[in-house]
Amino acid sequence: MDWFKEVLCRLTRMGMEITHLGSGSAGNSTLLRSEETCVLIDCGFSLKQMEARLGLAGVEPSSIDAILVTHHHSDHSKTALRASKNWDSVLHSNLETATRMGWEPMAECRTFESLERIVVSEEISLMPIPVPHDDADNVAVIASNGDGRRAAIVTDLGELTVDLMRHLSGCSHISIEANYDHSRLMSGPYPESLKRRISGRGGHLSNTQTGDALAEIVSNRLESLVLCHLSERNNAPHLAESEVLMAMEDKFVGSIGISRQSGPEFSHWLGQSEPERIIG
Ligand SMILES: [Zn+2]
Ligand SMILES: [Zn+2]
């Protein structure tokens, strides 16, 4: 029965779990975990918070193999360098982000080019896709597991590019920002200039933009969806969820979740539509 064990082992290794440690303007980090590999997309909480949240997800900080920082804004990058040194994890960013953070390429971080596949291990590889966001060289991340299933982590962008839409359409899991409800933002207390910046090409995605984009690419291949980076002032979980679900009509048959600032609450597995609750 050795062949059976081998197949079972291989299947387990192909799995990938996606856990949002928390998301929002006060900090972002997403854990991707397979049998033998752990990767963080962004590291935007204090080190103490990062370690506490990893603990709730049942992960030793020292088992983080790699940290990819999407862009230099502190809610994504805050403790990435210190974490990579303390936990002996490889830090990845593009050159612009490294420069803006003052990280030494080669010595402190490995720099990547957009659309270059970063092979962390046999089990997890990452593809950075450039997205428009303020003055930052931000990237969305498409993570692939051993059998070619893909998960997308997409935050901090003013609009979805054709290239990104193409990559999203093949994904089994999508975590994507639904930052603001348009009428809440427009009728809220923010100064006009800030409202324009948030809703502009380099700002964030609204519930409507996210819903419209997902409606375009949704297929029965999409098993799970997480809405993230919700603005506490200009959005609410029920608004984001209902608008996105309404836009996709009955084309989406998977599970939907919201990543909150306080996280982690749920883990999603590629190939499993029901999320697994984290026992805190
Ligand atoms: Zn940002
Ligand atoms: Zn952000």
- How does pLDDT run across 185-232, given as a tens digit for each residue? 999 999 999 999 999 999 999 999 999 999 999 998 999 999 999 999
What is the domain partition of the chain in residue ranges? 14-260
Which ligand is located closest to the Cα atom of residue 28? 2
Taking the C-alpha atoms of residue 24 and residue 216, their distance in angstroms, rounded to an integer, is 25
CA of 98 to the centre of ligand 2 (A): 17
Task: List the chain pLDDT tens, one digit each, 280 residues.
Answer: 555 555 444 445 468 999 999 999 999 999 999 999 999 999 999 999 999 999 999 999 999 999 999 999 999 999 999 999 999 999 999 999 999 999 999 999 999 999 999 999 999 999 999 999 989 999 999 999 978 899 999 999 999 999 999 999 989 999 999 999 999 999 999 999 999 999 999 999 999 999 999 999 999 899 999 999 999 999 999 999 999 999 999 999 999 999 999 989 888 888 766 788 886 5
Q: Ligand 1 centroid vs 138 CA: distance in angstroms?
A: 8
Ligand 1 centroid distance, CA of 100 (Å) = 13
Centroid of ligand 2 to alpha carbon of 171 (angstroms): 22
Ligand nearest to the CA of 72: 1
Question: Residue 265 Cα, ligand 2 centroid: separation in angstroms?
Answer: 19
- For residue 231, the ligand closest to its alpha carbon is 2
Q: Ligand 2 centroid to 151 CA: how many Å?
A: 19
What pLDDT is attached to residue 9? 46
Whether the predicted model's global pTM rises above the 0.75 cut: yes
Please state the CATH superfamily assignment of the domain spanning residues 14-260 in this structure.
Ribonuclease Z/Hydroxyacylglutathione hydrolase-like (3.60.15.10)
